[in-house]
Amino acid sequence: MLKLHSKNTLLSVTILGALTACGGGGSTPTAAEPATANPPPASGTPAQTPVSNFSYNKILGEYTTQQWDAIALAKIVDSGSTLNSEYIQDMAVSLTENGQRYAITARGGSNGNITLDYSWTVNTDGSETTVALYDPSGFQFANSYQQPITGAELNVSTYDSTWLASQGLEYVDGAAAQATYTGNDPVHTLPIIYGEFTESGDVKTTANQDFTLLPDMLFQYWDNDRSTSTTLVAKGSGNINVNYESNAVTGTVVLNKFYNYADVFNGNTSYTLVAGIPNLTITLVDGTLVDGQITATLDTTVVVTSNGTLSGEGYLKGALFGPEGNELGATLFLLQDNEDTHSYFYWDTTGIVLGQ
């Protein structure tokens, strides 16, 4: 578990462009030209032809009681007075779907002796405040549900089923939960992936497999004045390769599209790219596959700009999902390291990737 010392509290930060609600804070970056519209989603779900002998439930079904397999990490902004934030790499998380209700429990401890222990019930039947979230082309890709809890506001978001189907994803989903306490202090953010893990006996044992990734991240930085925070939604592309003979996992995640936090979170149906943010190439290091579970450390390719270099390191935890492991999901975070010389006083990024 990594601990870092940031220089400002988050301002009601909710993770992921796809997975958040509530307006953001901080400075407003300069808008660039409108983003090129994403191609229209495919009609229906692309056909898959698994030959698995195992049975799996699809994410897009409706279930009276379905406990999904889940993986989460947590970002903790614990005190505005000490300006500390920490990450928990190993959260114990449970996510159960009951019709139009999700029951989520999450527990874990940081190396700074902070313990999170939550039990939430989220209704998706319209009884809670719901914000529809859109991509820059105006296609809805997520729903965010908001409710008050003791001393805080809870936001829980999941991808829209139509968007998942348009991406050919059937067995893995992504979500985010965030508790923002009075005065934005503390803020607890949990990126979550869930679905049905591939059974160990169903994981391939030969050849390689490439997964095309859909990254969805929150990117935040503080200016050199050490008080101005800017929060962005970061998207891009990526690839993960799994070698089933050696159990080695390699790949990269590229973040090259950045959008204003509030534009996404407020449910706007169109918005523009933000200019002046260096692209980030995140490389998986020492990635391994064990019984369908994936772990890797992360490293950024140092990006040289007129304002210096961006350099960072982090952690990824994920799994294979569904028949023969043909879908993938992972949570990850990346933190500024000591080799960074950029004019940003501090930066970090956290979120999820889904792939097939």
| Model pLDDT, residue 320 | 98
Find the mean pLDDT for residues 228-251: 94
Q: Is the pLDDT of residue 15 over 50?
A: no
84 falls in which pLDDT band (50, 70, 90)? low
Note the pLDDT of residue 46: 45
Mean pLDDT, residues 55-76: 93
Determine the pLDDT at residue 66: 96
Mean pLDDT of the chain: 84
- Residue range 153-171, pLDDT digits in tens: 999 999 999 999 999 999 9
Give the pLDDT of residue 122.
94
Q: Hey, what long-range contacts does 173-176 have (CB within 8 A, 24 or more apart)?
A: 173/59, 173/329, 173/354, 174/16, 174/18, 174/19, 174/216, 174/329, 174/352, 174/354, 175/19, 175/95, 176/14, 176/15, 176/16, 176/19, 176/20, 176/352
Strand partners, 142: 133, 159
Say what the pLDDT of residue 178 is. Answer: 85
Look at residue 19 and tell me whether its pLDDT is greater than 70: no
Domains of the chain: which residue ranges? 3-31+62-355
- More confident position, 299 or 185: 299
Residue 227: its pLDDT value, please?
73
pLDDT mean over 117-143: 93
